[in-house]
Structures are given as C-alpha cells and as structure tokens.
Amino acid sequence: MTDPTRSEQHEHKARIWAVGGGKGGVGKSVVTTSMAIALARRGERCILVDADLGGANLHTFVGMNNPERTLTDLFRKDVAGLKDILLSTRFPNLWLISGARALLDMANPAYQQKMKVIRQIFSLHADHIFIDLGAGSSYNVLDFFLAAHEGVMVVVPTPTSVENAYHFLKAVYYRRLKKVVRKLGAEKLVDNLLAEKVQRGIRSPRDLVRDIQSNSREIGLALAEQMAELRPRLIINQVKRGEDLTLGTKISAACRDFFAIDVDMAGNIRTDERVLASLKARRPTLDMFPSSPFADDLERVVRTICPVTELTNGRDAYAEL
C-alpha cells in the first residue's frame, strides 16, 4: 500500500511528540488530539498515534466509531507496516493510527515489537507525529517518551497528579541515565557511587552527576550534557484558580533543583465544560467550540511549543485574521 501521507514536499523527517505525564484522566488524549488538530489547521501534516494500548480511545476524540485498521493488525502481522494502518480522519491534514481492540497481551508488547513500532514511526511521512501515551510509568510508556523528539507532560493542579508526574519524570530520567551510563562505559563507577550513596550524601540525580564529575570529570561532563538533552515540556491542564497558574513555574524550579534538567513551561489550559460536551458529541472541542477558553488556551500552547517560524508548510492562522 502506498503511504497516503507521502508527497514530494514531505521527504523531510517528521517532528515526533509524545504526550504522557503519569496520571490517568488528566487530559493527555484531549490535549494530544487538540494539538494535532491545531497544527493540521495551519497546514501541517499530522499523524496521531494511539499508543495507549490498554485503553486506546483516540479514535473517539476524532469522531471515528470503529477504526477499520489498528495496531492490532500490525501485531498480528496481518499487515506489513505502520503505514498500512494509517487512517484518514474527517479533518484535512490529519491521520490516525488507532490502538483500538488491542488484546490484553498486546497492551504490553515485547521489547522487539515495541522498538519495531518506534522505528516505523520514525519512517512515516508527515510534519508532526503525536503519540498519545497511557497513564503510568511502564517501560512501554517511558520508551516512547524517550524516543520522541519532544516529550510533553500533562499535569493537573492536584497533589496526586503532581506526585505522579514527579514519579514519571524520575522513571524517565533513570531510564535515560542507564542508557547514557552504558554508552559511556561508566556502569562500574556509577554502581560504586550508588553503593555508598548515603555516606556520599547523594540525595538526588543532581548530586549523583556532581559526584560522578568529581570522580571522572570527562565522564561527568559527557553525562551532564547528555542528560540535559532531556527537556520535557509541561502543560498544566484543568486550571481552575489563580493559584494554579504558578504551579508550572514551581514544578520547573523543583526539577531544576532535583534533576538539574530544564522543564519548559508550555502553558496553562483552563477547565472548560465544553471539553466534555464536545467529547459526548464525538467532536473535538477545537472543532465544536473554536472560540472557547479551552481552544484559546490550547492555541496559545501550540504557538509556544511550535512557533510559526518552525512550521513546515503552515502559516500562522492568526496572521490571516
């Protein structure tokens, strides 16, 4: 089958976004779908990938009832590749790879299977690919998050969401650290330091990297540099009160202190009852309520994380008003 998203002008690599954040029900799928729709409207060719295999529902967010092809067909080897299960949506420039009907054992695909999907995602032709992740910090979720060019965390202003986001980021950090340490051949050094972490006063990843640096400056610097490439974006969703507006800055500051990494605040999105109303109508909020608080906030987030200068074909929708 030919790749429906392929065109002469689209031979460049897609920018791959993964949206996670640890907690369930915070709005990951709503936000992922809306970001893709917002960019598709600007003329960018976008593919949504539903990687929440345990609870795939992205098709509902784009108003599709029964996706005719899904990742299940790929895992069952009924189709050769990811491009064979690409579905057009009723929105121009927007395609979907559905995770619906994934069998229970598929919710946890084998490592090789998962890496194959990740490799194939990278070979798809589009401007942007948005991967909607499930809740939690399983290796599946972490590997998709780490493989993407851009990791986006969605957090709501509740103590449990903030706590889950912290656990999520910690899991992401250590999974990447392990890979980097292995690549630098520094396993022994790090194991030795961690065995004495109490005596050495290592209480955070920042302390660990500092200690590695004082033992081996070269390894420490390389490690710090590669870990700094982990630069997730943060969206605070379902904002209700004024005090919620400071949460993003607080989380960013805490991450700088603890992990020595930058978490870039992408914006706040207000609680808006139209989100549920549009979901019930099986229509994206941006489509049904284009001038709602949710749509306004979402558009602002998209302009922050993907400024008009970084668009491939698109134009700034606002410039034409």
Q: Which residues of this protein are in contact with Mg ion, per CB under 5 A?
A: 28-29
For the sheet containing 150-155, what is the strand order?
A: 87-88, 94-97, 46-50, 128-132, 15-20, 150-155, 233-239, 264-270
Question: Considering the complex, what minimum distance in angstroms separates the CB of residue 96 from ligand ATP?
Answer: 15
Other Cβ atoms less than 10 A from the Cβ of 184: the count is 18
Under 8 Å between Cβ of 158 and 79: no
| Angle at the Cα of 34 from the Cα atoms of 71 and 102, rounded to 5 degrees | 15
Distance CA 67, CA 63 (A): 10
Binding string, residues 91-130; x marks residues near ligand ATP by CB under 6 A: ----------------------------------------
Rg, the chain, Cα only: 20
Q: Which does 64 bind (CB under 5 to 8 A by kind): ligand ATP, Mg ion, none?
A: none
Shortest Cβ contact with Mg ion: which residue?
29
Q: Which does 279 bind (CB under 5 to 8 A by kind): Mg ion, ligand ATP, none?
A: ligand ATP
Question: Considering the complex, what minimum distance in angstroms separates the CB of residue 253 from ligand ATP?
Answer: 24
End-to-end CA distance of the chain: 40
Q: Using the rule CB under 6 A, is 244 a contact of ligand ATP? A: no
Tell me the DSSP string of 166-211.
HHHHHHHHHHHHHHHHHHTT-HHHHHHHHHTHHHHT--SHHHHHHH
Q: Using the rule CB under 6 A, is 55 a contact of ligand ATP? A: yes
Q: Counting beta carbons within 10 angstroms of the beta carbon of residue 252, is it exposed (0 to 12), middle (13 to 18) or buried (19 or more)?
A: middle
Q: Using the rule CB under 6 A, is 276 a contact of ligand ATP? A: yes
Residues 220-238 as b or e (16 or more Cβ within 10 Å = b): bebbbebbeebebbbbbbb
Number of H helices, E strands in the chain: 14, 8
Q: Which of 150, 133, 128, 311 is nearest to 229 (CA)?
A: 150
Q: Using the rule CB under 6 A, is 25 a contact of ligand ATP? A: yes
Under 8 Å between Cβ of 122 and 12: no
Q: Of the ranges 20-28, 82-90, 94-102, 188-196, which one interacts with ligand ATP (CB under 6 A)?
A: 20-28
Q: Of the ranges 19-27, 118-126, 163-171, 246-254, which one interacts with ligand ATP (CB under 6 A)?
A: 19-27
Q: Which does 53 bind (CB under 5 to 8 A by kind): Mg ion, ligand ATP, none?
A: none
Question: Considering the complex, what minimum distance in angstroms separates the CB of residue 28 from ligand ATP?
Answer: 3
Site for ligand ATP in 182-241 (CB under 6 A): 237-238
Q: In the complex with ligand ATP, which residue's Cβ is closer, 52 or 150?
A: 52
Q: Using the rule CB under 6 A, is 26 a contact of ligand ATP? A: yes
User: How do beta strands 150-155 and 128-132 pair?
Assistant: unpaired
Site for ligand ATP in 130-159 (CB under 6 A): 134-135
In one letter, which amino acid is 288?
M
Interface residue with ligand ATP among 15, 16, 27, 157 (CB under 6 A) is: 27
Q: Of the ranges 22-30, 69-77, 145-153, 309-317, which one interacts with ligand ATP (CB under 6 A)?
A: 22-30
Q: Which does 70 bind (CB under 5 to 8 A by kind): Mg ion, ligand ATP, none?
A: none
Question: Considering the complex, what minimum distance in angstroms separates the CB of residue 111 from ligand ATP?
Answer: 23
Residues interacting with ligand ATP, by CB under 6 A?
24-30, 52, 55, 134-135, 237-238, 269, 271-272, 275-276, 279, 294
